[in-house]
Amino acid sequence: MSKENFDEIIHRSLEIRKKYHELELLHHGSEWTVEEDALAYLTDAGLVGRNIMSQQQRWPKAGSETELEHKLAENIWWLIVLAERSGIDIKEAVDKILTKMDVALK
């Protein structure tokens, strides 16, 4: 993936999060905290696990293929949001970990 594509994914992710903040204000009078965002992410991460189990015929659940695709992508979105809200440059963080993993596997 090119740097520009990743930049666009990050930009779109953060713009969508702003729209969700607007809905939170409308419906609840306040935006979700970082902790609430983290809890939502963890909930979706758990659903990835259940959908993987279903895909591998280890958990009975209908429609898991479509939901798995959705939840995997949604988890990436949440990680981008959580990184931004935590003051972490996700591009830098991903580059660091991939470099570290490359070096470790040589």
> What is the per-residue pLDDT for 1?
59
Amino acid at 19: K
Q: pTM for this structure?
A: 0.92
> What is the per-residue pLDDT for 81?
98
The Cα 15–Cα 1 span in angstroms is: 21
Q: Identify the DSSP state of 33.
A: P
The Cα 13–Cα 7 span in angstroms is: 10
Which residues in the chain show pLDDT less than 70? 1
User: Cα 72 to the chain's mean position, in Å?
Assistant: 7
> What is the per-residue pLDDT for 4?
83
